Amino acid sequence: MAFKRVSNPPNPWQRYGVEWLGAPPEAGLEIYEEHARSILSQNDSPDLGFRFSLNPYRGCFHACAYCYARPTHQYLEFGAGTDFDRKLIAKVNAPELLEEAFRKKSWQGECVVFSGVTDCYQPLEATYELTRRCLEVALAFRNPVSLITKSALVRRDVQLFSQLHTHARVHVTLSIAFSDDKMARLIEPNAPLPSARFEALKALSAAGVPTGVAVAPLIPGLNDAQIAEVLERAQACGARNAFCTMLRLPAEVEPVFIERLHVAFPDRAQKVLNGIRDMRGGELYKGGFGERMRGEGERWRASQWLFENTCKRLGLNSMGEQRLGREPGLNDRETFKRPPKRGETASLFE
């Protein structure tokens, strides 16, 4: 008889899976260090507004039930559930690899997005400082940067972002799906509360750093009623633009989300699942290009009307629709400049 793990869906590349009898034990935190071969990833998805991304960490301690990146942990022979939350990997040579990439003649100073997969300011960053050191490399080369996080730790590097804004280009997006702290804690158990993220947004904006908010993911029946409040609070904290994406439940993300949903909101779980199906043409997920990030049907259009009209009222997105990596000016490459290596003298004509 086959079994399935309760909190950690079995890896499809593993031959067997087991289930704990009774309540599963508390998963211990395991940290691994990796000397990666490369640090810049490329994507060709028409759904995304960027080509290059940088991820200093694998897995994410924030443990958000809806995280679309969970299946990536399975390529490491880990699970997509508690393994993703508790078996974390730091790419300890990330800053050195980024400098190597920028030194190559083929590199032309295109915007780099931090992070396309897991949060670059999750708690490990407080110790390893890989994101900060990579940003210092970007500053040295005056390379444009776009960054998204749901961590208040981003406040630590306000001065660094300010320098990037002065000498290159930078944009920081805070991902805030909920305006309600208690509700957020149930779905994003280890992420900083939304109230802390709004404070981080305020600190960055006050330092002159261009900022935005991602109302993501939109979960019908759970946070769709909070869209306007998130946008209003973000605008009050200095955000200049915003975007909104639909909940994604690929592969093993679906059972993790559904399990957490039934535990956290037993009285409305079925309502939420029905709402997702309403926005997905009767399904819980559609993974094709052009439909992964957005929904369909009257309910989706109503949510988008609320989002877009609230943005218009608040003066957000005054320069047009925004997406991560598509912020104005970030793909201008004229700021990029290779500094001399240690021990070298800069050219008289540089």
Q: Where are the domains of the chain?
A: 30-314
List strands edge to edge, sheet with 170-175: 40-42, 52-54, 112-114, 145-149, 170-175, 211-218, 241-246
Cβ atoms 71, 250 nearer than 8 A: yes
Cβ atoms 180, 56 nearer than 8 A: no
H or E, element range at 133: helix 130-141
Residues in the chain: 350
Count of beta carbons in the 10 Å neighbourhood of residue 278? 17
CATH topology of domain 30-314: TIM Barrel (3.20.20)
pLDDT for 333 equals 73
pLDDT for 324 equals 63
Cβ atoms 337, 141 nearer than 8 A: yes
Mean pLDDT, the chain cut into blocks of 10 residues (350 residues total): 42 50 65 95 73 95 96 91 94 98 96 92 95 98 96 97 96 97 96 97 98 97 97 98 95 95 97 97 88 90 96 82 60 86 58
H or E, element range at 205: helix 194-206
Q: Which amino acid is residue 66, in one-letter code?
A: Y
Could you identify the residue written with the tokens 């970030």? 330
pLDDT for 317 equals 87
pLDDT for 48 equals 64
257: left (phi over 0), alpha (psi -120 to 50) or beta: alpha
- Judged by DSSP in three states, 87 sits in strand
- Judged by DSSP in three states, 345 sits in coil
- The whole-model pTM stands at 0.88
pLDDT for 348 equals 42
Count of beta carbons in the 10 Å neighbourhood of residue 200? 24
pLDDT for 346 equals 52
